[in-house]
Amino acid sequence: MSEKTNALKQEFLLSLADVKTQEELEEIRVKYLGKKGLVTELLKDMRSLTPEEKKTFGQEVNVLKEEVSEKIAAAREEIKQAEIERELALMPEFDVSMPADLRRGSYHPITLVQRQCEEIFKSMGFAVEDFREVVTDYECFEALNIPKDHPARDMQDTYYLDNGQLLKSHTSAAQNAIYKKYKDALVNEGKPIKAIFPGRCFRNEATDACHENTFFQMEGVMVDKNISISNLIFFMKTMLSEVFRKDIKVRLRPGFFPFVEPGFELDISCLICGGEGCASCKHSGWLELCPCGMIHPEVLRAGGIDPEEYTGFAFGLGLTRLAMMKYGVKDIRDLNSGSLKVLSQFTDDK
């Protein structure tokens, strides 16, 4: 091997020894084997050689080229291997002999009770509807006969967005959209409107054992010709007896909501204290569970339904409170706590 070829080979081997990354290696490949690389440049020296010398020198350069290529390929593999090992060293060690943790998640009690109510109402011909959490002032209040500055708004302070929309304070906010969706089928095909719409509600209020600022309700409406309070009572009774499957004490008393006339409060005797009075029922022995009433004519009219021809009932079931009562949860705040100690106790069959 000529002195020049040998010197180039030694220089290449030295620089290869320092290479740590694929990028550095690529630089070296271009430096030696690229179109204008040092190995290729060697061939320029051939011009001044005799044909015999050219042959020997040409072979020598080809051998060097091959050697350089092989060493670069080997270095590429080594660097790749080293990278894999570095990554493996950073990974936590797995003990494959360790027993698996077979604990499963469980449904949230509110989901369980919501699904149960959905099944009950579906079996009675109600459609299950979904609705947004962000609603307009019109949907949440005005369409429900609660104009601006009406005192009933004080009971439902909520969280407002910069654009004037708000987080719905009750599921009644979907009523107007439901009437508009189903009114044509009611008028043209004589199909009664029967729908429930569960959803998350928000209120800007202090929390205690039976009040949360984020809770679930399930609204229900039925509109047809000749719907009366007795229809309302039938559906409320059926729902409660199916959910609890035992005798529970309820009471119906007058209640005021601008969107129903007449309106009622449906209370349930507190199942935590058996009606004696405790923190869960604000020491009254009763828990407000499902206000209801006959839909106000103005509300039907806003939904495009003629109140002279049709009547209907509406109810707003407190789903979170229902879950409290059904599962014996003393403090409503536990349901939003995300604590697995609390939540893992509930399963479908309880």
199 forms part of the interface with ligand FA5 (CB under 6 A): no
Task: Tell me 311's DSSP state.
Answer: E
Contact 147, 347 (CB under 8 A): no
User: Which of 39, 292, 325, 329 is in the footprint of ligand FA5 by CB under 6 A?
Assistant: 292
Structure tokens at 67: 């050697």
How far is it, in rounded angstroms, from Cα 324 to Cα 329?
A: 5
Contact 313, 192 (CB under 8 A): no
**Neighbouring residues of 35: CB distance < 8 A, sequence distance ≥ 6:** none
289 forms part of the interface with ligand FA5 (CB under 6 A): yes
- Residue 259 CB, nearest approach to ligand FA5 (Å): 6
- Which residue sits closest to ligand FA5, CB atoms considered? 318
- Residue 21 CB, nearest approach to ligand FA5 (Å): 60
Options 7-15, 228-236, 245-253, 284-292: segment touching ligand FA5 (CB under 6 A)? 284-292
203 forms part of the interface with ligand FA5 (CB under 6 A): yes
Q: Is the peptide bond preceding residue 262 cis, with omega within 30 degrees of 0?
A: yes
Q: Closer to ligand FA5 by CB, 145 or 186: give it.
A: 145
Structure tokens at 141: 């209040």
How far is it, in rounded angstroms, from Cα 170 to Cα 150?
A: 16
Contact 204, 213 (CB under 8 A): yes
Closest CA to 223 of 303, 343, 339: 303
User: Which of 291, 305, 311, 346 is in the footprint of ligand FA5 by CB under 6 A?
Assistant: 291
Number of residues counted as binding ligand FA5 (CB under 6 A): 24
**Neighbouring residues of 242: CB distance < 8 A, sequence distance ≥ 6:** 116, 120
Is 331 buried (19+), middle (13-18) or exposed (0-12) by CB count in 10 A?
A: middle
- Residue 292 CB, nearest approach to ligand FA5 (Å): 5
How far is it, in rounded angstroms, from Cα 321 to Cα 323?
A: 5
Options 3-11, 72-80, 124-132, 204-212: segment touching ligand FA5 (CB under 6 A)? 204-212
Q: Closer to ligand FA5 by CB, 75 or 266: give it.
A: 266
- Residue 324 CB, nearest approach to ligand FA5 (Å): 9
Contact 9, 64 (CB under 8 A): yes
Interacting residues with ligand FA5 between 228 and 267 (CB under 6 A): 257, 260, 263
195 forms part of the interface with ligand FA5 (CB under 6 A): no
Options 72-80, 132-140, 288-296, 337-345: segment touching ligand FA5 (CB under 6 A)? 288-296
Q: Closer to ligand FA5 by CB, 64 or 158: give it.
A: 158
The CA-to-CA distance between both ends of the chain, in Å, stands at: 88
How far is it, in rounded angstroms, from Cα 184 to Cα 180?
A: 8
Binding string, residues 295-324; x marks residues near ligand FA5 by CB under 6 A:
-------------------xxx-x-xx---
User: Which of 71, 211, 301, 333 is in the footprint of ligand FA5 by CB under 6 A?
Assistant: 211
How far is it, in rounded angstroms, from Cα 54 to Cα 51?
A: 5
- Residue 285 CB, nearest approach to ligand FA5 (Å): 15
Q: Closer to ligand FA5 by CB, 64 or 300: give it.
A: 300
Chain residues that interact with ligand FA5, rule: CB under 6 A: 170, 172, 203, 205, 211-212, 215, 217, 219, 257, 260, 263, 288-289, 291-293, 314-316, 318, 320-321, 332
